[in-house]
Structure 1
């Protein structure tokens, strides 16, 4: 079966760049949701812990339980069934209605909608949220928001920062009135962190930058990061494709001369999506995907025993007219992973 190689040196390089920007490793929360963006929850979590990262962000409690021993502080973004909790877990409150579903004595981060209009309470509901949580003896350990366009040239980034600054001041007032400790404040995702001149929040939630990517990096002059993942496939068979013969479903590739072709054990069943045959994709070593990608294999103009399908998904994202996130998270989580 195909294999994903995870480059430890590149990951640690990215962590160096990120922690230099935040000011310390303690201010980095590595985002491990959706199987660490396809890179492997346990694998990346273990490496992040080895590097010295103490905070993580996941999607569900089940994911938090899998990495509980690796981190001191885990933010859970989108859980609706609170079947268990731990002192290391900090559950995101995405709506006022969820207050009554939270376990007593649990730790909660209130999410505030500063303009994305997806999840979170309204800024004017922050006092109501604090009072409701206090009545249920729930600890407010964080207040946060999420940027909708930090990687785009627009005023949204600055507008949301201003709204969240106002929220912070209101939270400080409420905490003083209720004699509550100040919670952690966090708003920066990867792009927002690198667009912030003087980072002064409790920590940054760093996702895609961890894995070596930042959209529109050239526009904002973001630092160069190194992709962590490469995808490798093994040869299944080889043959001579004669001039005029085709290969694959629909016979979309027709040989213009006699060539050697081979099939490899990766396909859309593994998350390497079908290519629109009107566009072409070339591997890092210069081999072309010939015709349509099948469920379990694809064809290349080589007979190498092993082939690197990609070591940087930017080119593939352009072929599919999508973003790097979608390419990596689409990969089948059952693909074997090896740290190199």
Structure 2
């Protein structure tokens, strides 16, 4: 009886202790406070702009063609999980990523639909393809044999090299392509190629694109003659859909256009449809400082005040993905709708801007690195031109410590 009462007492005390701990944890004074998402530097994602771009691009799709957005490299810096969840809500049920790790992250966060891994997956990671129900790209015949030797069924799309000479089995190697389709452990769900000059409008580029398409269709026809079906076919990405919509088969692998631009300003202006940038980058002003004429600032004292000046320290730097090449007056930010040139060298975690012509700037104010402030706007294409690159690179290298907010 004593033992029984002791056990009852023990369990009662244990249950009450757990309940008490839960109640205490719920009290506001014991809750862990999450750092402010707009405390230092952050990315804002415009939900309405994303919806507009999806609608504009979907309008170009022929009957039977599905949207397969590229959400690789963290959705071009936008945040793959946030963007993919929103696209799922819009009825998008196919995605492409670069790596098995990217695909696994989407699955762990509840993303549904087909997820095609466009790049190389090491054999030691083949189990992840099955665990997360991912579709692997067959890079060539030798890689098909590696997948087949794994011994377990893996869903794949076969890539055909029609002239880019990057990934894919060469289109003229029809015997090897047929042998890919004969592999027992490949569940072949699609076949595709990639256009490499679809963004260019010279006669040579147009002819080359049509030659790529012909080479692809010749392979499909040859496979059919040998009794193989190709359930899903896809050829176009952003530029292909915009300029060669007739080549959009079962999927359109839209990338940079989804995010509201093309790789260059000229391409964006030429595309012929209305796209809105989804992403803005903002950062807090850490402090404001007076500089006297002749004083230097920053590493190497690369900025020397030509007269008495005021500078602001903006809490973002190349560690967040801002190109260091924008240093020393090449780039600028927006404060109160006015451009403030970047002075001195951009640092890892902050940059200096000249605010001599902007009144009443104070610590805690917001600087816009990409986006709109008042009537002024800075785009990813602006930064790309200043950096000598393309918007894809500017966006894709944006750092993880920038919080992404869908607004």
**TM-score normalised to structure 2 length:** 0.77
Question: Residue 234 of structure 2 contacts residue 249 of structure 2 at CA under 8 Å; is this kept in 1?
Answer: yes
Task: Give the structure 1 partner of residue 311 of structure 2.
Answer: 261
Cα drift, residue 218 of structure 1? 5.9
Pair 1:111–1:273, CA change in 2 (3 A): same
Task: Give the structure 2 partner of residue 185 of structure 1.
Answer: 233
Question: Residue 26 of structure 1 contacts residue 55 of structure 1 at CA under 8 Å; is this kept in 2?
Answer: no
Q: Deviations over 1:13-41 (max 9, x none)?
A: 11111101114796111101111111111
Pair 1:19–1:182, CA change in 2 (3 A): same
Pair 1:52–1:158, CA change in 2 (3 A): farther
How many residues in Structure 1 have an aligned counterpart in Structure 2?
339
Pair 1:299–1:200, CA change in 2 (3 A): closer
Task: Give the structure 1 partner of residue 129 of structure 2.
Answer: 85
User: Which stretch has the larger CA shift, 38-47 or 277-286?
Assistant: 277-286
User: Which stretch has the larger CA shift, 318-327 or 77-86?
Assistant: 77-86
Report whether the alignment pairs 1:205 with 2:258: no
Task: Give the structure 2 partner of residue 308 of structure 1.
Answer: 368
Question: Residue 126 of structure 1 contacts residue 171 of structure 1 at CA under 8 Å; is this kept in 2?
Answer: no
Task: Give the structure 2 partner of residue 71 of structure 1.
Answer: 112
Pair 1:316–1:6, CA change in 2 (3 A): same
Task: Give the structure 2 partner of residue 175 of structure 1.
Answer: 224
- Measure the CA separation in 2 of the matches of 1:240 and 1:77: 52
Aligned with 1:245 (options 295, 299, 313):
295
RMSD of aligned residue pairs (Cα, Å): 2.2
User: Which stretch has the larger CA shift, 194-203 or 271-280?
Assistant: 271-280
**TM-score normalised to structure 1 length:** 0.92
Structure with higher helix content: 2
Report whether the alignment pairs 1:325 with 2:392: yes
Aligned with 2:83 (options 21, 39, 44):
44
Look up the SS of the partner of 2:49 in the other structure: helix
Question: Residue 252 of structure 1 contacts residue 277 of structure 1 at CA under 8 Å; is this kept in 2?
Answer: no
Gaps of 5+ in 1: none
Cα drift, residue 181 of structure 1? 3.5
Pair 1:25–1:329, CA change in 2 (3 A): farther
- Measure the CA separation in 2 of the matches of 1:191 and 1:43: 24
Question: Residue 327 of structure 2 contacts residue 346 of structure 2 at CA under 8 Å; is this kept in 1?
Answer: no
Question: Residue 93 of structure 2 contacts residue 114 of structure 2 at CA under 8 Å; is this kept in 1?
Answer: yes
Task: Give the structure 1 partner of residue 184 of structure 2.
Answer: 136
Task: Give the structure 2 partner of residue 295 of structure 1.
Answer: 348
- Measure the CA separation in 1 of the matches of 2:320 and 2:385: 19
Q: Whose RCO is larger (CA < 8 A, sep 6+)?
A: 1
Question: Residue 329 of structure 2 contacts residue 343 of structure 2 at CA under 8 Å; is this kept in 1?
Answer: no
Report whether the alignment pairs 1:338 with 2:388: no
Pair 1:273–1:163, CA change in 2 (3 A): closer
Bigger radius of gyration: 2
- Measure the CA separation in 2 of the matches of 1:95 and 1:13: 37
User: Which stretch has the larger CA shift, 145-154 or 124-133?
Assistant: 124-133
Gaps of 5+ in 2: 1-39, 356-360, 372-378
Task: Give the structure 2 partner of residue 108 of structure 1.
Answer: 156
Pair 1:51–1:26, CA change in 2 (3 A): farther
- Measure the CA separation in 2 of the matches of 1:25 and 1:249: 57
Question: Residue 127 of structure 1 contacts residue 174 of structure 1 at CA under 8 Å; is this kept in 2?
Answer: no
Pair 1:40–1:237, CA change in 2 (3 A): same
Cα drift, residue 239 of structure 1? 1.4
Look up the SS of the partner of 2:404 in the other structure: strand
User: Which stretch has the larger CA shift, 167-176 or 304-313?
Assistant: 167-176
Look up the SS of the partner of 1:187 in the other structure: strand
- Measure the CA separation in 1 of the matches of 2:279 and 2:63: 25
Q: Deviations over 1:108-133 (max 9, x none)?
A: 11111111111111112244233334
Question: Residue 50 of structure 2 contacts residue 258 of structure 2 at CA under 8 Å; is this kept in 1?
Answer: yes
Q: Deviations over 1:59-113 (max 9, x none)?
A: 1112112223323111111132223324852211112111122253222111111
Task: Give the structure 2 partner of residue 229 of structure 1.
Answer: 279
